[in-house]
Amino acid sequence: MDLTDLTIKQAHQGFKKKEFSARELALAYLKKIKQTDKDLNAYLSVAEESALSDAELADKKIASGNFSELTGIPCAIKDAILVEGQKCTAASKILKNYTAVYDATVTKKLKKEGSVILGKTNTDEFTMGASTENSAFGVVKNPHDKTRVAGGSSGGSAAAVAAKEACFSLGSDTGGSIRLPASFCGIVGLNPTYGSVSRYGLIAHASSLDQIGPMTKNVEDCKIVFNVIKGKDKKDATSVESEIQNSKFEIRNSRIGVPKEYFAEGLDKEVEKIIKNAIKKAEQAGAEIEEISLPNTKYCIACYYIIVPSEASSNLARFDGIKYGYSDQSQKTLMQVYYKSRGEGFGLEPKRRIMLGTHSLSFGYYDAYYKKAQEVRKLVKQDFTKAFEKIDLIFCPVAPFPAFKIGEKADNPLSMYLVDIYTCGVKLAGLPGLSLPAGNVGGLPVGLQIIGNHFEENKILAIAQELENVL
Protein backbone atom coordinates (compact mmCIF):
# COMPACT_ATOMS: atom_id res chain seq x y z
CA MET A 1 0.00 0.00 0.00
CA ASP A 2 1.30 3.44 -0.99
CA LEU A 3 0.37 5.62 1.98
CA THR A 4 0.45 8.76 -0.18
CA ASP A 5 -2.56 7.46 -2.13
CA LEU A 6 -4.81 7.74 0.92
CA THR A 7 -7.37 10.49 1.42
CA ILE A 8 -7.77 12.22 4.80
CA LYS A 9 -10.68 9.92 5.65
CA GLN A 10 -8.77 6.78 4.66
CA ALA A 11 -5.65 7.81 6.60
CA HIS A 12 -7.82 8.54 9.65
CA GLN A 13 -9.32 5.05 9.44
CA GLY A 14 -5.80 3.62 9.11
CA PHE A 15 -4.77 5.34 12.34
CA LYS A 16 -7.87 3.99 14.07
CA LYS A 17 -7.07 0.44 12.98
CA LYS A 18 -3.38 0.92 13.88
CA GLU A 19 -2.33 -0.07 10.33
CA PHE A 20 0.42 2.59 10.34
CA SER A 21 1.58 5.52 12.45
CA ALA A 22 1.55 9.27 11.81
CA ARG A 23 5.34 9.13 11.65
CA GLU A 24 5.22 6.46 8.94
CA LEU A 25 2.70 8.52 6.97
CA ALA A 26 4.85 11.65 7.29
CA LEU A 27 7.96 9.72 6.19
CA ALA A 28 6.08 8.42 3.13
CA TYR A 29 5.23 11.97 2.05
CA LEU A 30 8.73 13.29 2.79
CA LYS A 31 10.16 10.48 0.68
CA LYS A 32 7.75 11.33 -2.15
CA ILE A 33 8.79 15.00 -2.01
CA LYS A 34 12.48 14.01 -2.29
CA GLN A 35 11.69 11.77 -5.26
CA THR A 36 9.47 14.07 -7.30
CA ASP A 37 9.70 17.71 -6.28
CA LYS A 38 13.01 18.46 -7.96
CA ASP A 39 11.05 18.15 -11.23
CA LEU A 40 7.94 20.04 -10.06
CA ASN A 41 9.23 22.85 -7.79
CA ALA A 42 5.99 22.75 -5.79
CA TYR A 43 7.77 23.37 -2.46
CA LEU A 44 9.90 26.38 -1.58
CA SER A 45 10.91 24.84 1.74
CA VAL A 46 10.42 21.48 3.44
CA ALA A 47 10.42 21.33 7.24
CA GLU A 48 11.42 17.69 7.70
CA GLU A 49 12.54 17.97 11.31
CA SER A 50 9.47 19.82 12.58
CA ALA A 51 7.16 17.61 10.46
CA LEU A 52 8.50 14.46 12.13
CA SER A 53 8.23 16.15 15.52
CA ASP A 54 4.58 17.03 14.72
CA ALA A 55 4.00 13.41 13.65
CA GLU A 56 5.36 12.05 16.94
CA LEU A 57 3.04 14.36 18.89
CA ALA A 58 0.16 13.19 16.68
CA ASP A 59 1.01 9.56 17.44
CA LYS A 60 0.67 10.30 21.16
CA LYS A 61 -2.77 11.85 20.55
CA ILE A 62 -3.79 8.84 18.46
CA ALA A 63 -2.58 6.43 21.15
CA SER A 64 -4.75 8.25 23.71
CA GLY A 65 -7.79 7.68 21.49
CA ASN A 66 -8.67 11.39 21.61
CA PHE A 67 -7.91 12.59 18.10
CA SER A 68 -9.68 14.27 15.18
CA GLU A 69 -9.84 13.56 11.45
CA LEU A 70 -6.88 15.88 10.77
CA THR A 71 -4.62 14.50 13.51
CA GLY A 72 -1.43 13.15 11.92
CA ILE A 73 -2.47 14.19 8.40
CA PRO A 74 0.45 15.69 6.41
CA CYS A 75 -0.31 18.99 4.69
CA ALA A 76 1.39 21.81 2.80
CA ILE A 77 0.87 25.55 3.36
CA LYS A 78 1.10 28.21 0.65
CA ASP A 79 4.14 30.39 1.23
CA ALA A 80 2.03 33.50 1.79
CA ILE A 81 0.49 32.04 4.98
CA LEU A 82 2.58 32.30 8.15
CA VAL A 83 3.88 29.26 10.02
CA GLU A 84 5.85 30.28 13.11
CA GLY A 85 9.56 29.51 12.84
CA GLN A 86 9.40 28.76 9.12
CA LYS A 87 10.37 31.02 6.23
CA CYS A 88 7.54 32.94 4.58
CA THR A 89 8.73 34.56 1.36
CA ALA A 90 5.54 35.10 -0.67
CA ALA A 91 7.89 33.85 -3.44
CA SER A 92 9.60 37.25 -3.48
CA LYS A 93 13.26 38.23 -3.16
CA ILE A 94 12.20 41.06 -0.88
CA LEU A 95 11.18 38.45 1.75
CA LYS A 96 13.78 35.85 0.81
CA ASN A 97 15.11 35.44 4.35
CA TYR A 98 12.03 36.37 6.36
CA THR A 99 11.05 33.89 9.09
CA ALA A 100 7.52 34.07 10.48
CA VAL A 101 7.37 35.04 14.15
CA TYR A 102 3.76 33.90 14.66
CA ASP A 103 1.19 31.51 13.22
CA ALA A 104 -1.65 32.51 10.93
CA THR A 105 -5.03 31.68 12.49
CA VAL A 106 -5.58 28.83 9.99
CA THR A 107 -2.13 27.43 10.84
CA LYS A 108 -2.94 27.58 14.54
CA LYS A 109 -6.20 25.71 13.92
CA LEU A 110 -4.44 22.95 11.95
CA LYS A 111 -1.78 22.61 14.66
CA LYS A 112 -4.49 22.36 17.31
CA GLU A 113 -6.01 19.44 15.36
CA GLY A 114 -2.58 17.76 15.21
CA SER A 115 -1.93 18.14 11.47
CA VAL A 116 1.62 17.60 10.24
CA ILE A 117 2.96 20.60 8.30
CA LEU A 118 5.40 19.34 5.67
CA GLY A 119 6.51 22.71 4.32
CA LYS A 120 5.69 25.84 2.34
CA THR A 121 4.57 25.77 -1.27
CA ASN A 122 5.51 27.91 -4.25
CA THR A 123 3.28 30.74 -5.47
CA ASP A 124 3.24 33.67 -7.83
CA GLU A 125 5.09 36.54 -6.14
CA PHE A 126 2.80 38.07 -3.50
CA THR A 127 0.10 35.78 -5.00
CA MET A 128 0.01 37.91 -8.18
CA GLY A 129 -0.60 35.64 -11.15
CA ALA A 130 -2.54 32.80 -12.74
CA SER A 131 0.32 30.42 -13.57
CA THR A 132 2.97 30.49 -10.79
CA GLU A 133 5.44 31.70 -13.40
CA ASN A 134 5.87 34.95 -11.45
CA SER A 135 7.64 33.27 -8.52
CA ALA A 136 11.12 34.64 -7.83
CA PHE A 137 12.17 31.02 -7.18
CA GLY A 138 11.12 29.32 -10.41
CA VAL A 139 7.95 28.11 -12.08
CA VAL A 140 5.83 25.23 -10.73
CA LYS A 141 5.34 22.47 -13.29
CA ASN A 142 2.06 20.65 -13.80
CA PRO A 143 2.27 17.02 -12.55
CA HIS A 144 0.17 15.90 -15.56
CA ASP A 145 2.53 17.51 -18.11
CA LYS A 146 5.75 19.12 -16.95
CA THR A 147 5.87 21.41 -19.99
CA ARG A 148 2.72 23.16 -18.72
CA VAL A 149 1.86 25.48 -15.85
CA ALA A 150 0.18 24.29 -12.66
CA GLY A 151 -1.99 27.41 -12.52
CA GLY A 152 -1.71 30.21 -10.04
CA SER A 153 -1.23 31.67 -7.74
CA SER A 154 -1.58 28.61 -5.48
CA GLY A 155 0.21 26.45 -8.07
CA GLY A 156 2.58 24.85 -5.56
CA SER A 157 -0.28 23.88 -3.25
CA ALA A 158 -2.24 22.32 -6.15
CA ALA A 159 0.77 20.50 -7.64
CA ALA A 160 1.75 19.12 -4.21
CA VAL A 161 -1.68 17.51 -3.72
CA ALA A 162 -1.94 16.29 -7.33
CA ALA A 163 1.56 14.74 -7.17
CA LYS A 164 0.81 13.13 -3.77
CA GLU A 165 3.43 15.28 -2.04
CA ALA A 166 0.81 16.33 0.54
CA CYS A 167 -2.48 14.84 1.66
CA PHE A 168 -4.05 18.30 1.49
CA SER A 169 -2.90 21.89 1.26
CA LEU A 170 -4.00 25.43 1.95
CA GLY A 171 -4.04 28.07 -0.76
CA SER A 172 -5.41 31.57 -1.07
CA ASP A 173 -7.75 32.99 -3.70
CA THR A 174 -7.87 36.66 -4.74
CA GLY A 175 -9.15 36.31 -8.31
CA GLY A 176 -9.11 32.57 -8.93
CA SER A 177 -5.89 31.48 -7.24
CA ILE A 178 -7.34 28.33 -5.62
CA ARG A 179 -9.81 27.32 -8.33
CA LEU A 180 -7.55 27.82 -11.38
CA PRO A 181 -4.65 25.62 -10.16
CA ALA A 182 -7.15 23.08 -8.80
CA SER A 183 -8.71 22.88 -12.28
CA PHE A 184 -5.34 22.69 -14.07
CA CYS A 185 -4.01 20.00 -11.70
CA GLY A 186 -7.18 17.91 -11.38
CA ILE A 187 -7.90 18.33 -7.66
CA VAL A 188 -10.70 19.90 -5.57
CA GLY A 189 -10.22 23.54 -4.55
CA LEU A 190 -12.64 25.66 -2.52
CA ASN A 191 -12.68 29.45 -2.45
CA PRO A 192 -14.86 30.14 0.60
CA THR A 193 -17.23 33.07 1.07
CA TYR A 194 -15.31 36.25 1.87
CA GLY A 195 -15.08 36.48 5.66
CA SER A 196 -15.78 32.83 6.41
CA VAL A 197 -12.08 32.04 7.01
CA SER A 198 -9.72 34.34 8.93
CA ARG A 199 -7.08 36.17 6.87
CA TYR A 200 -4.92 36.88 9.92
CA GLY A 201 -1.40 35.75 9.04
CA LEU A 202 -1.96 35.82 5.27
CA ILE A 203 0.38 38.25 3.51
CA ALA A 204 -2.06 40.73 1.99
CA HIS A 205 -2.49 41.13 -1.76
CA ALA A 206 -5.94 42.74 -2.15
CA SER A 207 -7.61 42.83 1.26
CA SER A 208 -11.23 43.05 0.09
CA LEU A 209 -10.81 39.88 -2.01
CA ASP A 210 -8.14 37.64 -0.40
CA GLN A 211 -9.49 34.40 1.10
CA ILE A 212 -7.74 31.24 2.37
CA GLY A 213 -9.22 27.88 1.37
CA PRO A 214 -8.56 24.11 1.18
CA MET A 215 -7.10 22.13 -1.75
CA THR A 216 -7.73 18.40 -1.50
CA LYS A 217 -7.86 15.01 -3.23
CA ASN A 218 -11.66 14.81 -3.08
CA VAL A 219 -14.76 16.69 -1.91
CA GLU A 220 -15.10 14.84 1.39
CA ASP A 221 -11.58 15.92 2.40
CA CYS A 222 -12.37 19.49 1.33
CA LYS A 223 -15.33 19.58 3.68
CA ILE A 224 -13.24 18.22 6.57
CA VAL A 225 -10.54 20.90 6.16
CA PHE A 226 -13.00 23.74 5.58
CA ASN A 227 -14.94 22.89 8.75
CA VAL A 228 -11.70 23.16 10.75
CA ILE A 229 -10.39 26.45 9.34
CA LYS A 230 -13.66 28.42 9.07
CA GLY A 231 -15.10 30.71 11.71
CA LYS A 232 -14.88 34.18 13.22
CA ASP A 233 -11.52 35.41 14.46
CA LYS A 234 -11.12 38.48 16.68
CA LYS A 235 -7.80 39.16 14.93
CA ASP A 236 -9.58 39.62 11.58
CA ALA A 237 -12.35 42.22 11.69
CA THR A 238 -13.69 41.06 8.30
CA SER A 239 -14.26 37.50 9.49
CA VAL A 240 -17.73 36.37 10.53
CA GLU A 241 -19.33 33.41 12.24
CA SER A 242 -20.95 31.83 9.20
CA GLU A 243 -24.52 30.68 9.47
CA ILE A 244 -24.07 27.66 7.21
CA GLN A 245 -27.16 25.50 7.03
CA ASN A 246 -26.54 21.79 7.63
CA SER A 247 -29.81 20.69 6.09
CA LYS A 248 -29.71 17.89 3.52
CA PHE A 249 -29.25 19.14 -0.03
CA GLU A 250 -29.42 16.89 -3.09
CA ILE A 251 -29.04 17.30 -6.83
CA ARG A 252 -32.58 16.03 -7.47
CA ASN A 253 -34.05 18.97 -5.51
CA SER A 254 -31.74 21.65 -6.92
CA ARG A 255 -32.05 24.40 -9.47
CA ILE A 256 -28.83 24.97 -11.41
CA GLY A 257 -28.15 28.22 -13.26
CA VAL A 258 -25.92 28.28 -16.36
CA PRO A 259 -24.71 31.80 -17.28
CA LYS A 260 -24.93 32.35 -21.03
CA GLU A 261 -22.08 34.88 -20.83
CA TYR A 262 -19.68 32.12 -19.68
CA PHE A 263 -20.26 30.03 -22.82
CA ALA A 264 -19.40 32.69 -25.36
CA GLU A 265 -16.43 33.30 -27.67
CA GLY A 266 -13.04 32.31 -26.25
CA LEU A 267 -14.09 29.09 -24.50
CA ASP A 268 -12.18 26.05 -25.74
CA LYS A 269 -14.61 23.68 -27.52
CA GLU A 270 -13.34 20.59 -25.67
CA VAL A 271 -13.60 22.34 -22.30
CA GLU A 272 -17.13 23.46 -23.19
CA LYS A 273 -18.04 19.85 -24.03
CA ILE A 274 -16.77 18.62 -20.65
CA ILE A 275 -18.64 21.31 -18.69
CA LYS A 276 -21.86 20.72 -20.63
CA ASN A 277 -21.51 16.99 -19.97
CA ALA A 278 -21.28 17.71 -16.22
CA ILE A 279 -24.41 19.89 -16.47
CA LYS A 280 -26.18 17.07 -18.32
CA LYS A 281 -25.20 14.58 -15.58
CA ALA A 282 -26.74 16.90 -13.00
CA GLU A 283 -29.91 17.15 -15.09
CA GLN A 284 -30.08 13.34 -15.40
CA ALA A 285 -29.80 13.14 -11.61
CA GLY A 286 -32.91 15.31 -11.31
CA ALA A 287 -31.61 18.88 -11.23
CA GLU A 288 -33.57 21.62 -12.92
CA ILE A 289 -31.27 23.47 -15.36
CA GLU A 290 -31.97 27.09 -16.21
CA GLU A 291 -30.06 29.53 -18.41
CA ILE A 292 -29.31 32.75 -16.54
CA SER A 293 -27.70 36.04 -17.44
CA LEU A 294 -24.90 37.87 -15.63
CA PRO A 295 -24.83 40.91 -17.94
CA ASN A 296 -22.02 42.77 -16.20
CA THR A 297 -19.58 39.87 -16.70
CA LYS A 298 -17.98 41.81 -19.58
CA TYR A 299 -16.77 44.46 -17.09
CA CYS A 300 -15.37 42.04 -14.50
CA ILE A 301 -11.76 41.86 -15.71
CA ALA A 302 -11.45 45.64 -16.12
CA CYS A 303 -13.08 46.24 -12.74
CA TYR A 304 -10.97 43.59 -11.02
CA TYR A 305 -7.69 44.88 -12.45
CA ILE A 306 -8.32 48.37 -11.11
CA ILE A 307 -9.41 47.34 -7.59
CA VAL A 308 -6.70 44.69 -7.10
CA PRO A 309 -3.66 46.80 -8.10
CA SER A 310 -5.04 49.70 -6.05
CA GLU A 311 -5.27 47.58 -2.91
CA ALA A 312 -1.96 45.86 -3.72
CA SER A 313 -0.08 49.15 -4.09
CA SER A 314 -1.29 50.13 -0.63
CA ASN A 315 -0.53 46.74 0.94
CA LEU A 316 2.96 46.50 -0.57
CA ALA A 317 3.97 49.93 0.74
CA ARG A 318 5.04 48.24 3.99
CA PHE A 319 7.90 46.46 2.20
CA ASP A 320 10.26 49.41 2.31
CA GLY A 321 13.63 47.85 3.12
CA ILE A 322 13.48 49.16 6.69
CA LYS A 323 11.15 47.08 8.86
CA TYR A 324 11.87 43.57 7.55
CA GLY A 325 12.92 41.73 4.43
CA TYR A 326 15.55 42.69 1.88
CA SER A 327 17.33 46.00 2.48
CA ASP A 328 20.13 47.63 0.49
CA GLN A 329 22.13 49.29 3.26
CA SER A 330 24.85 50.59 0.92
CA GLN A 331 22.76 53.67 0.09
CA LYS A 332 23.47 57.09 1.64
CA THR A 333 19.93 58.41 2.16
CA LEU A 334 16.68 56.93 3.44
CA MET A 335 14.95 57.58 0.12
CA GLN A 336 17.73 55.76 -1.76
CA VAL A 337 17.29 52.75 0.58
CA TYR A 338 13.58 52.70 -0.29
CA TYR A 339 14.13 52.96 -4.03
CA LYS A 340 16.97 50.46 -4.22
CA SER A 341 15.43 47.87 -1.86
CA ARG A 342 12.04 47.92 -3.57
CA GLY A 343 13.55 48.11 -7.05
CA GLU A 344 15.71 45.05 -6.49
CA GLY A 345 13.33 43.17 -4.19
CA PHE A 346 10.12 43.23 -6.22
CA GLY A 347 9.64 41.29 -9.45
CA LEU A 348 7.95 42.57 -12.62
CA GLU A 349 4.35 41.71 -11.72
CA PRO A 350 4.32 43.39 -8.28
CA LYS A 351 5.98 46.45 -9.84
CA ARG A 352 3.35 46.50 -12.59
CA ARG A 353 0.50 46.31 -10.08
CA ILE A 354 2.04 48.92 -7.77
CA MET A 355 2.29 51.38 -10.68
CA LEU A 356 -1.23 50.64 -11.97
CA GLY A 357 -2.71 50.88 -8.49
CA THR A 358 -0.87 54.04 -7.49
CA HIS A 359 -2.03 55.69 -10.71
CA SER A 360 -5.66 54.59 -10.11
CA LEU A 361 -5.61 56.06 -6.60
CA SER A 362 -3.79 59.28 -7.48
CA PHE A 363 -5.34 62.77 -7.40
CA GLY A 364 -7.40 63.41 -10.51
CA TYR A 365 -7.75 59.73 -11.39
CA TYR A 366 -9.36 58.25 -8.26
CA ASP A 367 -12.93 59.05 -9.36
CA ALA A 368 -12.35 57.95 -12.95
CA TYR A 369 -10.80 54.60 -12.05
CA TYR A 370 -11.03 53.28 -8.48
CA LYS A 371 -14.38 54.84 -7.56
CA LYS A 372 -15.89 53.80 -10.89
CA ALA A 373 -14.60 50.24 -10.46
CA GLN A 374 -16.25 50.02 -7.03
CA GLU A 375 -19.55 51.14 -8.59
CA VAL A 376 -19.23 48.44 -11.26
CA ARG A 377 -18.43 45.93 -8.51
CA LYS A 378 -21.86 46.66 -7.00
CA LEU A 379 -23.48 45.89 -10.36
CA VAL A 380 -21.59 42.58 -10.61
CA LYS A 381 -22.78 41.66 -7.12
CA GLN A 382 -26.36 42.61 -8.04
CA ASP A 383 -26.21 40.24 -11.04
CA PHE A 384 -25.44 37.32 -8.73
CA THR A 385 -27.99 38.42 -6.11
CA LYS A 386 -30.71 38.51 -8.77
CA ALA A 387 -29.66 35.10 -10.13
CA PHE A 388 -29.78 33.46 -6.69
CA GLU A 389 -33.37 34.58 -6.21
CA LYS A 390 -34.44 31.78 -8.58
CA ILE A 391 -31.57 29.25 -8.52
CA ASP A 392 -29.55 27.35 -5.91
CA LEU A 393 -26.16 27.05 -7.59
CA ILE A 394 -24.32 28.16 -10.73
CA PHE A 395 -22.38 25.73 -12.95
CA CYS A 396 -19.73 27.07 -15.33
CA PRO A 397 -16.09 26.57 -16.41
CA VAL A 398 -13.19 27.51 -14.13
CA ALA A 399 -10.91 28.51 -17.01
CA PRO A 400 -11.45 28.97 -20.76
CA PHE A 401 -8.85 26.27 -21.52
CA PRO A 402 -6.76 23.54 -19.83
CA ALA A 403 -3.25 24.21 -18.50
CA PHE A 404 -1.21 26.15 -21.06
CA LYS A 405 2.47 25.77 -21.93
CA ILE A 406 5.07 27.34 -19.65
CA GLY A 407 6.05 30.67 -21.22
CA GLU A 408 3.06 30.73 -23.57
CA LYS A 409 1.47 33.81 -21.97
CA ALA A 410 4.41 35.16 -19.97
CA ASP A 411 5.16 38.04 -22.36
CA ASN A 412 1.55 39.21 -22.61
CA PRO A 413 0.15 40.39 -19.24
CA LEU A 414 -3.30 41.12 -20.71
CA SER A 415 -3.56 37.57 -22.09
CA MET A 416 -2.61 36.26 -18.63
CA TYR A 417 -5.20 38.50 -16.92
CA LEU A 418 -7.94 37.05 -19.16
CA VAL A 419 -7.34 33.61 -17.59
CA ASP A 420 -9.39 34.96 -14.63
CA ILE A 421 -12.45 35.66 -16.80
CA TYR A 422 -14.73 33.07 -15.08
CA THR A 423 -13.32 33.35 -11.56
CA CYS A 424 -12.87 37.02 -10.70
CA GLY A 425 -16.61 37.91 -10.78
CA VAL A 426 -17.17 35.47 -7.91
CA LYS A 427 -14.50 37.32 -5.92
CA LEU A 428 -15.92 40.77 -6.65
CA ALA A 429 -19.24 39.52 -5.24
CA GLY A 430 -17.61 37.80 -2.23
CA LEU A 431 -19.18 34.43 -3.14
CA PRO A 432 -17.96 30.87 -2.55
CA GLY A 433 -16.88 28.76 -5.52
CA LEU A 434 -15.40 25.29 -5.94
CA SER A 435 -13.41 23.61 -8.71
CA LEU A 436 -14.41 19.96 -9.19
CA PRO A 437 -12.48 17.67 -11.60
CA ALA A 438 -14.91 17.05 -14.48
CA GLY A 439 -12.82 15.38 -17.20
CA ASN A 440 -9.72 15.95 -19.25
CA VAL A 441 -8.59 17.20 -22.64
CA GLY A 442 -5.65 15.23 -24.01
CA GLY A 443 -4.65 14.14 -20.51
CA LEU A 444 -5.00 17.64 -19.05
CA PRO A 445 -7.62 18.05 -16.28
CA VAL A 446 -10.61 20.37 -16.60
CA GLY A 447 -12.55 21.69 -13.59
CA LEU A 448 -16.25 22.42 -13.26
CA GLN A 449 -16.87 25.58 -11.22
CA ILE A 450 -19.76 25.36 -8.75
CA ILE A 451 -20.75 28.76 -7.35
CA GLY A 452 -23.09 29.24 -4.40
CA ASN A 453 -24.69 32.11 -2.54
CA HIS A 454 -22.95 33.66 0.47
CA PHE A 455 -22.16 31.11 3.22
CA GLU A 456 -23.70 28.23 1.25
CA GLU A 457 -20.53 26.14 1.11
CA ASN A 458 -22.45 23.12 2.41
CA LYS A 459 -24.75 23.26 -0.64
CA ILE A 460 -21.73 23.42 -2.96
CA LEU A 461 -19.96 20.56 -1.16
CA ALA A 462 -23.07 18.35 -1.05
CA ILE A 463 -23.73 18.69 -4.79
CA ALA A 464 -20.03 18.35 -5.65
CA GLN A 465 -19.81 15.13 -3.64
CA GLU A 466 -22.78 13.65 -5.51
CA LEU A 467 -21.41 14.71 -8.89
CA GLU A 468 -17.93 13.46 -8.06
CA ASN A 469 -19.26 9.90 -8.19
CA VAL A 470 -20.65 10.23 -11.73
CA LEU A 471 -18.10 12.45 -13.52
Give the model confidence (pLDDT) of 277-321 as tens digits: 999 999 999 999 999 999 999 999 999 999 999 999 999 999 999
d(CA 455, CA 192): 8
Find the CATH number of the domain harbouring 191: 3.90.1300.10
**Cβ atoms of residues 398 and 435 within 8 Å:** yes
Instruction: Tell me, yes or no, whether 288 lies in a domain.
Output: no
The model's pLDDT over 185-223, given as tens digits with 9 standing for 90+, comes to 999 999 999 999 999 999 999 999 999 999 999 999 999
d(CA 255, CA 394): 9
Mean per-residue pLDDT, 133-145: 98
**Longest pairwise C-alpha distance within the chain:** 71
Identify which has the larger pLDDT, 184 or 253.
Answer: 184
Q: Is the dihedral of CA 149, 150, 154, 157 positive or negative?
A: negative
Look at residue 247 and tell me whether its pLDDT is greater than 80.
no
- 112: which DSSP letter? H
Cis, bond preceding 153 (omega within 30 deg of 0):
yes
Look at residue 248 and tell me whether its pLDDT is greater than 90.
no
Look at residue 141 and tell me whether its pLDDT is greater than 90.
yes
Percentage of the chain modeled with pLDDT above 70: 99
Look at residue 244 and tell me whether its pLDDT is greater than 80.
no
**Cβ atoms of residues 139 and 72 within 8 Å:** no
Pairing of strands 211-216, 168-173: antiparallel
Q: Look up 92 and say whether it is catalytic.
A: no
- CA-nearest of 431, 422, 350, 342 to 393 is 431
Confidence of residue 329 (pLDDT cuts 50, 70, 90): confident
Can you give the pLDDT at residue 264?
87
- Catalytic-role residue among 92, 115, 154, 177: 177
Instruction: Tell me, yes or no, whether 414 lies in a domain.
Output: no
Instruction: Tell me, yes or no, whether 68 lies in a domain.
Output: yes
Mean per-residue pLDDT, 432-461: 97
Instruction: Tell me, yes or no, whether 408 lies in a domain.
Output: no
The model's pLDDT over 88-126, given as tens digits with 9 standing for 90+, comes to 999 999 999 999 999 999 999 999 999 999 999 999 999
Cβ-proximal residues to 295 (8 Å cutoff; 6+ apart), any chain: 261, 383
- 5: which DSSP letter? G
Confidence of residue 16 (pLDDT cuts 50, 70, 90): very high
Query: What is the number of structural domains in the chain?
Result: 1
- Catalytic-role residue among 92, 115, 131, 153: 153
- CA-nearest of 194, 276, 235, 254 to 471 is 276
Give the CA-trace dihedral at 194, 198, 202, 207, to 10 degrees: 40
Mean pLDDT of the chain: 96
Report the range of poorest mean pLDDT among 50-64, 148-162, 401-415.
401-415
Q: What are the φ and ψ backbone dihedral angles of 44, each rounded to 5 degrees? A: -95, -30
Q: Look up 17 and say whether it is catalytic.
A: no
- CA-nearest of 129, 268, 222 to 435 is 222
Burial 350-359 (b: 16+ CB within 10 A, else e): bebbbebbbb
Concatenating the DSSP letter of every residue in 239-261 gives --------S---GGG-EEEEEGG
CA angle 105, 108, 112 (to 5 degrees): 140
Look at residue 398 and tell me whether its pLDDT is greater than 80.
yes
Instruction: Tell me, yes or no, whether 428 lies in a domain.
Output: no
Q: State CA 298 to chain mean position distance.
A: 23
d(CA 444, CA 150): 11
Instruction: Tell me, yes or no, whether 308 lies in a domain.
Output: no
**Cβ atoms of residues 32 and 81 within 8 Å:** no
> What is the helix (H) or strand (E) element at residue 51, kind and residue range?
helix 48-64
Instruction: Tell me, yes or no, whether 236 lies in a domain.
Output: no
Confidence of residue 224 (pLDDT cuts 50, 70, 90): very high
Cβ-proximal residues to 336 (8 Å cutoff; 6+ apart), any chain: none
Domain around 64 = 3-229
d(CA 77, CA 138): 18
- Catalytic-role residue among 32, 78, 230, 409: 78
Q: Look up 153 and say whether it is catalytic.
A: yes
d(CA 415, CA 438): 25
Look at residue 60 and tell me whether its pLDDT is greater than 70.
yes
Instruction: Tell me, yes or no, whether 275 lies in a domain.
Output: no
Mean per-residue pLDDT, 231-256: 87
Burial of 333 (0-12, 13-18, 19+ CB in 10 A): exposed
Confidence of residue 245 (pLDDT cuts 50, 70, 90): low
